[in-house]
Structure 1
Amino acid sequence: MKPTYDYNATKKYLEEKKQQLCNKLSNMHLSKKEREQIKLEIDNYEYILNVVEMNHYERGFSH
C-alpha cells in the first residue's frame, strides 16, 4: 500500500500543533473550562498521531 501523504511532514505538523496546545496549557490565567478544553484537544492530537503512525506502519490492517 503506497502512502498518499508525507508521513514525516504530517507527523511533524501534528506534533507542533500538540506542542502549541501544551504551551497554552502553561498559561496560569486560563479558566478551568479552558484548561479542560485544551486537555481534550491534546488528547485528540495524541489519538490522531497514533492513527497516523499505525497507518504508516500498516498496523491494524487485515491482509
Structure 2
Amino acid sequence: MLKAIIDSAKCEQAAKCINKCVASLGCKTKAIFKVDPDEDAIIDTSKCNGCSLCLPLCPTRAIRVIEL
C-alpha cells in the first residue's frame, strides 16, 4: 500500500506554506493539513490513498510516497 510521508528535513516552511500546506490543495482525501503555522504539515496516513497528486505541488519536494 502506497502512502505519502513528509521529510521534515526538507519541509522548510516556505513562505507560501505558512498558513496552509500548498500540497494539501491537491489532496482529494484531505489527508494533508497543518495544525500550527510554525510546524511542518502532517499527513494522516489513514486518509492518504497514495495517489501522488501532492508531490509536484510541494515547493520544497518534502513529500514522497513509500510502500507501507
The structure whose residues are more often helix, as a share, is: 1
**TM-score grouping bracket, smaller chain normalisation:** under 0.3
Relative to the length of structure 2, the TM-score reads: 0.26
The structure whose residues are more often strand, as a share, is: 2
Larger relative contact order (Cα-Cα within 8 Å, sequence gap ≥ 6): 2
Larger radius of gyration: 1
